[in-house]
């Protein structure tokens, strides 16, 4: 049982009703951080504020760092080189990709040496070769599987047709991940999930999917890192946090990426993180307790803030660190929502916090 379990925040029955607390720094309470990249470590290719320094301190204190990405385009070597250039010394073995997860999934279902039709980039080809499989480019080369991963903005339309030809012949179809979007330096672009939808619409088939938030990706990270008390660190509720939920491990949501305060307050149980913090400095500190107030009025306190759910809205009183106010609001919102989602108006309180 992890430190996060002991500090809980889950009600009887396992539904999380408030963020958990930890008397110890998270970098001491967990042996390995499983870190998402985009929105957590970097954005637009540049390091996010405080990321480099925070990871250096966590690593120096003995915490293992692994970088877990649904992007199947780049190889682990390329990702490690990029992180090292940003000032985060990283080896290829520290990087786990959805390409590796889907390659393992395929290798468990087809013979060693089998051909695999690749609809994607170099990262997917390298991962397939690592598992003893042979990447090919045509459905006419007798593939045993079709593997689809993000191929970048220049992927030719004809590659999707090739996937359809193979699937129509009864070849099993695998996808690295189904993220509909991917961040870029110019904004949000179509991700592998959008490309998967093209093939799905054309064939009516359903792929086996490996990436976050599904179990094959979590299995891959644990096998490669050997983590015993891992902490998933991410910015997306529907991949990072849900993946931790599915894997039965604790998670830290950082507010440097796509998830905003309103989305967090409306999160269903599988999207509720164990901890919430502003950025990766949260790894280096304990997490404050979110206390339920006595009296049954739905109130929760964290730091100098008190949050209450009622009369059709969420209310917030007090002052202090904005993230403490958000933690208190999570308690009020998640508690009233139970196994559902909170539909109370949170506009005023979110605006007050400025998050």
36 catalytic residue (yes or no): yes
State the sign of the Cα–Cα–Cα–Cα dihedral 145, 206, 180, 198. Answer: positive
Instruction: Answer yes or no: are the C-beta atoms of 273 and 280 closer than 8 Å.
Output: no
Task: For the chain, state the CA radius of gyration.
Answer: 21
Contact 174, 208 (CB under 8 A): yes
* Three-state DSSP state, 51: helix
Q: What tokens does 141 get?
A: 């080369």
DSSP per residue, 317-333: EE-S-HHHHHHHHHHHH
User: Long-range contacts of range 134-138, CB-CB < 8 Å, 24 or more positions apart?
Assistant: 137/162, 138/162
State the Cα–Cα distance between residues 355 and 350, nearest whole angstrom: 7
Of the residues 5, 12, 31, 36, only one is catalytic, namely 36
* DSSP classification of residue 147: E
266 DSSP 8-state letter = T
Which segments of the chain does DSSP mark as H helices, in order?
3-7, 26-29, 51-60, 76-85, 98-107, 122-130, 158-168, 192-203, 215-225, 242-247, 261-265, 322-337, 347-353
Quick check: is 238 catalytic? no
Give yes or no for a contact between 98 and 128, defined as CB atoms under 8 angstroms apart: no
**How many alpha carbons lie under 13 Å from residue 244 in its C-beta half-sphere?**
28
Q: Which position among 12, 38, 250, 279 bears the catalytic label?
A: 38
Which residues are tagged catalytic? 36, 38
């Amino acid at each position: 049982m992890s430190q996060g379990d002991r500090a809980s925040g889950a009600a009887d029955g396992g539904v999380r009703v408030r963020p958990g607390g930890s008397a110890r720094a998270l970098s001491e309470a967990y042996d390995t951080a499983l870190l998402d990249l985009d929105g957590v470590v970097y954005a637009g290719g540049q390091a996010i504020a405080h990321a480099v320094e925070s990871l250096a301190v966590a690593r120096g204190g003995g915490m293992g760092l692994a970088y877990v990405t649904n992007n199947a385009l780049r190889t682990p070597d390329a990702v490690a080189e990029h992180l090292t250039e940003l000032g985060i010394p990283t080896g290829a073995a520290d990087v786990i990709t959805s390409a590796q997860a889907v390659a393992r999934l395929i290798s468990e279902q087809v013979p060693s040496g089998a051909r695999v039709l690749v609809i994607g980039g170099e990262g997917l080809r390298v991962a397939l070769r690592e598992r003893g499989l042979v990447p090919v480019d045509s459905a006419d080369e007798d593939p045993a599987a079709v593997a689809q991963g993000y191929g970048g903005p220049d992927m030719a339309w004809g590659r999707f047709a090739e996937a359809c030809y193979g699937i129509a012949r009864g070849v099993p179809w695998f996808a690295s991940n189904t993220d509909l979007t991917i961040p870029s330096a110019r904004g949000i672009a179509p991700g592998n999930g959008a490309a998967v939808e093209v093939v799905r619409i054309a064939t009516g088939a359903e792929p086996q999917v490996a990436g976050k938030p599904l179990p094959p990706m979590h299995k891959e990270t644990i096998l490669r890192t050997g983590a015993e008390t891992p902490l998933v660190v991410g910015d997306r509720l529907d991949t990072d946090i849900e993946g931790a939920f599915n894997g039965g491990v604790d998670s830290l949501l950082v507010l440097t990426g796509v998830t905003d305060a309103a989305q967090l307050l409306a999160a269903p149980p599988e999207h509720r993180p164990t901890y919430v913090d502003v950025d990766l400095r949260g790894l280096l500190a304990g997490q404050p307790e979110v206390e339920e107030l006595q009296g049954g009025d739905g109130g929760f306190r964290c730091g100098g803030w008190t949050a209450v759910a009622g009369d059709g809205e969420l209310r917030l009183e007090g002052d202090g660190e904005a993230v403490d106010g958000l933690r208190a609001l999570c308690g009020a919102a998640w508690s009233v929502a139970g196994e559902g989602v909170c539909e109370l108006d949170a506009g005023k309180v979110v605006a007050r916090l400025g998050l």
